[in-house]
Chains A and B, each alone.
Chain A
Amino acid sequence: GENVEQHPSTLSVQEGDSAVIKCTYSDSASNYFPWYKQELGKRPQLIIDIRSNVGEKKDQRIAVTLNKTAKHFSLHITETQPEDSAVYFCAASPSGGSNYKLTFGKGTLLTVNP
């Protein structure tokens, strides 16, 4: 089955700096890669996703890059703000179809210091 590795497990940055979280996956059949933000005690919220036919996607301060050959994808947050502090999870799925399950990375605790 799919195995998703995520690094780092914790990341502390100063407000205004950039943050980068990296993930690798093992199943070459995976072609959907979402990123979730989870605040303490709350549900994961989708912040951005990318499909394997795209190498990069950007939404305001958030961007995701995908290298399908190397089987890795990364989340980039620019101009970080204290409200960006949360746990971030990457995930991979063999398809965007509703029947295919997500495999999650172990998460990255991001702390943005004012």
Chain B
Amino acid sequence: GAVVSQHPSRVICKSGTSVKIECRSLDFQATTMFWYRQFPKQSLMLMATSNEGSKATYEQGVEKDKFLINHASLTLSTLTVTSAHPEDSSFYICSARDPGTGDGYTFGSGTRLTVV
């Protein structure tokens, strides 16, 4: 089935620095990828929809200047958390769907971000 690869799996960074998270569709082309954030014991909250070759669509309340999304190719989307603060510590996870298989949305393995 469709496979989505996400890196890194864990990252610890200092407050004020930036962190980039990559999400790749390995065996299909994804014109659209979705970025979610999940706090402990909570649901997945959609942050933004990443569109290949165009600007991302951000959900209400998500700062587009803080969470930079780039979807430069049909297989790669990146999320950069800029000027990270401890409250940005969370589990970030991407997803995409292979329209050619009829499968449900496939998730990356997630990135545990800890800002110290």
Contacts and interface: CB of A to CB of B under 8 A. Distances in A.
A9 B44 CA distance: 14
Nearest to A106: B43
A97 interface: yes
Contacts of A34: 104-105
- Interface of chain A, main secondary structure: loop
Interface string A26-67: 000000001000000111111001000000000000000000
A99 B105 CA distance: 11
A73 interface: no
Most buried by A among B30, B43, B91: B43
B96 A98 contact: yes
Nearest to A35: B104
A96 interface: yes
B70 interface: no
Contacts, number: 52
A98 B31 contact: yes
Interface in A77-114: 89, 96-99, 101-107
B109 A99 contact: no
B81 interface: no
Most buried by B among A42, A89, A97, A102: A102
Contact of B105 (A42, A46, A107): A46
A42 B102 contact: no
Nearest to B60: A1
A96 B32 CA distance: 13
Given A34-B105, A43-B93, A43-B107, A97 B99 contact: yes
B46 A103 contact: yes
B32 A99 contact: yes
